Amino acid sequence: MMYRALYRKWRPQTFSDVVGQSHITVTLCNELKAGKLAHAYLFTGSRGTGKTSCAKILAKAVNCEHPVDGNPCNECEVCRGIDSGAILDVVEIDAASNNGVDNIRDLREEANYTPVRAKYRVYIIDEVHMLSVGAFNALLKTLEEPPEHVKFILATTEVHKLPATILSRCQRFDFKRIEPEDIAARINVVAEGEGFTVDEEAAMLIARVADGGMRDALSLLDQCAGQSDRVTAQLVSSVAGFTGRDHLFSLADCIKNSDCARALSIINELHNSSCDMERLCSQLIEHYRNLMIIRSVNDPSGLIVCTASELKQMESQALSYTLENIMYILGVLEATSGNLRRGLNRRVETEMAFVRLCTPNLDSSVDALLKRVAAVENQVRSGVAVKPAAQNIAASDETQPTEAVPAAPEMLPDGELGCWPDIITELKNLNLPLTSVLYNSTAFVQGNHVVIYTDNPSLMALLKVKNNAIDLRHAIFNVTGIKYKIGVKSMEQTPDAPVPPPEEAPVQADPLASFLTQAEGYGVKITN
């Protein structure tokens, strides 16, 4: 016998076999048991979610000689005839290729004839949104008041393209994307029936790649099973095209490090290897979307389709970006993708995008300017001044220009850190859980330390985690422009009993006492 693809071989035969659409199958079963059938149904939803399968099951169920709790028996002559195509009372029409007025007129004339073998003539019109305007108009009257022996089942992936006159004449059911756990469970059932094994991690990876579509999941499983009797996550990654994506991480590192030369070299290598620039741009958008998700949620594993090792690599790379930078890069890549679709020189357009991303000063767009202005504002709010470059005057009458040498930022004076609220705001983009612990805290500068006063006992434990301490230091640096060490004190402690910082040597000086001493040095007398 000719080999049948798994998604065809394992197509649901009863409503109970349909995965992840119980809100629809239960309703249909109840209607069938009560005999309260509509004359027209509309099934909508994304691809591979069970629309056509439910339409065929419904067509059998309304004609079955021995239905079981609303399901077709699949044993009677009518059920077997519908499955084999021998009974012509159930007609499946592809509206993509039969979308004209004449096709619908032929359907209307044929619908007037009584069924030959079944109880009802059932018309399943797939991709119904492809019908022309004239065809929709020709269908309206028959769809609203069909003969008693006729049922219509319309299916579409783009319900927004249907006229309101069609929608109002149908009983509508919306098929949702199937949950990954449900797809993985079905994959295990299919694998057991076919005699091969699927690792748990591989089943979940297939489910996430399928993006809610059972047909796509079974097609990918079919490809994997063709290579090995044991389907592993590594095999799924290879078949799904996840391997060989190291260039995405390399290009992202080039953007982070402003390495324009290396980025253009990688693009040249990809171009010479016949890599499509539009596809490369699409992959980079997906890559930075994943970095955005990692930066935005606590557990990104359920929102990102990749292997466990690749997720760890993404998490490491995401730590070197702020959420603001990721959003800016995504904006540039989205604009580049639009230019590529308009037929411009794809290689040049891609190279221009990377020159802008690796050399921010060249980008004069509003987003780039706002980003640079925000950095200057952070410096101003923190009180960090940059000394102007010195100019040397020669003995002659002419002024001799000299190269500007940027001055190193001066340390802030000891005392309360006035820009602490700005630092907490900046930390939101880097580490949201740590930010929540720092609410209602204050901070003082003590030499090369920022000492945090808080009543939250969790802060000390959190800062012992390396990534948390790094994020906090980055936030302080982004606002003040100065690299500080971190210390922690309880608000209940006296100034003479400092708590050692979690990562550095103990801080000896009390911030308040140091502030008062320094104030007296300037001639300022402070009394209670």
| DSSP conformation class of 2 | -
* Residue 487 backbone dihedrals phi, psi, to 5 degrees: -130, 160
In 3D space, the residue among 437, 450, 434, 443 whose CA is nearest the CA of residue 483 turns out to be 450
Place of tokens 């990534």: 467
Reported as a pLDDT band with limits 50, 70 and 90, residue 492 is: low
d(CA 294, CA 166): 43
Looking at residue 42, its pLDDT comes to 95
d(CA 330, CA 253): 15
Sign of CA dihedral 517, 518, 523, 528: negative
Q: What percentage of the chain exceeds 90 in pLDDT?
A: 31
pLDDT digit string (tens) for 32-75? 999 889 999 999 999 999 999 999 999 999 999 999 988 999 99
* Residue 42 backbone dihedrals phi, psi, to 5 degrees: -125, 115
Neighbours of 142 (CB within 10 A): 21
pLDDT digit string (tens) for 387-409? 444 344 333 344 444 444 445 55
Looking at residue 362, its pLDDT comes to 66
In 3D space, the residue among 482, 491, 487, 489 whose CA is nearest the CA of residue 506 turns out to be 487
Reported as a pLDDT band with limits 50, 70 and 90, residue 366 is: low
Which of these ranges, 319-323, 392-396, 419-423, has the smallest mean pLDDT? 392-396
Round to the nearest angstrom and report the end-to-end CA distance of the chain: 97
3-class DSSP state of 49: coil
172, 42 in Cβ contact below 8 A?
yes
Strand order in the sheet with 485-490: 415-416, 442-446, 449-454, 485-490
Looking at residue 22, its pLDDT comes to 92
Question: To the nearest 10°, the Cα dihedral for 469, 470, 472, 477?
Answer: 140
Q: What is the 3-state secondary structure (H, E, C) of 93-108?
A: EECCCCCCHHHHHHHH
Task: Give 121's strand partners.
Answer: 150
The pLDDT of 196-202, averaged and rounded, is 89
Evaluate if residue 425 carries a pLDDT over 80: yes
Task: Give 71's strand partners.
Answer: 68
Buried b (16+ CB within 10 A) or exposed e, 122-131: bbbbbbbbbb
Looking at residue 279, its pLDDT comes to 84
Angle at CA of residue 358, ends 357 and 364, nearest 5°: 50
Token reading at 349:
């357009």
Helices vs. strands in the chain: H and E counts, helices first: 23, 11
In 3D space, the residue among 170, 114, 115 whose CA is nearest the CA of residue 139 turns out to be 170
452, 437 in Cβ contact below 8 A?
no
Looking at residue 174, its pLDDT comes to 94
36, with CB counted inside 10 A (0-12, 13-18, 19+), is exposed
- Concatenated DSSP letters of 245-313: -HHHHHHHHHHHTT-HHHHHHHHHHHHHTT--HHHHHHHHHHHHHHHHHHHH-S-GGGT--S-HHHHHH
222, 253 in Cβ contact below 8 A?
no
Reported as a pLDDT band with limits 50, 70 and 90, residue 146 is: confident
Evaluate if residue 221 carries a pLDDT over 90: yes
The pLDDT of 132-161, averaged and rounded, is 90
- Report the CATH number of the 246-362 domain: 1.20.272.10
pLDDT digit string (tens) for 447-466? 888 888 888 877 887 888 77
Evaluate if residue 343 carries a pLDDT over 60: yes
Phi-psi sector, 471: left (phi>0), alpha (psi -120 to 50), beta: alpha
The pLDDT of 313-341, averaged and rounded, is 89
Q: Which architecture, in CATH terms, is 6-175?
A: 3-Layer(aba) Sandwich (3.40)
Evaluate if residue 446 carries a pLDDT over 90: no
Looking at residue 387, its pLDDT comes to 45
d(CA 141, CA 174): 24
User: What's the chain's Rg over C-alpha atoms?
Assistant: 33
Reported as a pLDDT band with limits 50, 70 and 90, residue 488 is: confident
All structural domains of the chain with their residue ranges = 6-175, 180-240, 246-362, 415-521
Evaluate if residue 296 carries a pLDDT over 80: yes
Token reading at 85:
């195509």
Looking at residue 520, its pLDDT comes to 55
Q: Which residue has the higher pLDDT, 487 or 432?
A: 487
Reported as a pLDDT band with limits 50, 70 and 90, residue 381 is: low
Token reading at 352:
């221009």
d(CA 426, CA 434): 12
Looking at residue 502, its pLDDT comes to 44
24, 54 in Cβ contact below 8 A?
yes
CATH of 180-240, one of 3.90.1150.170, 2.40.50.140, 1.10.8.60, 1.10.3720.10: 1.10.8.60
CATH of 415-521, one of 3.40.50.1260, 3.30.300.180, 3.40.1440.10, 3.90.1180.10: 3.30.300.180
In 3D space, the residue among 349, 345, 325 whose CA is nearest the CA of residue 336 turns out to be 349
pLDDT digit string (tens) for 235-246? 888 888 766 678
d(CA 269, CA 262): 11
Reported as a pLDDT band with limits 50, 70 and 90, residue 496 is: very low
pLDDT digit string (tens) for 256-277? 888 999 999 999 988 888 888 8
Do you know the residue count of the chain? 528
Token reading at 367:
């987003």
Give me the amino acid identity at 47: R
3-class DSSP state of 180: helix
In 3D space, the residue among 249, 395, 234, 247 whose CA is nearest the CA of residue 321 turns out to be 249
pLDDT digit string (tens) for 19-31? 989 999 999 999 9
Reported as a pLDDT band with limits 50, 70 and 90, residue 514 is: low
Evaluate if residue 380 carries a pLDDT over 70: no
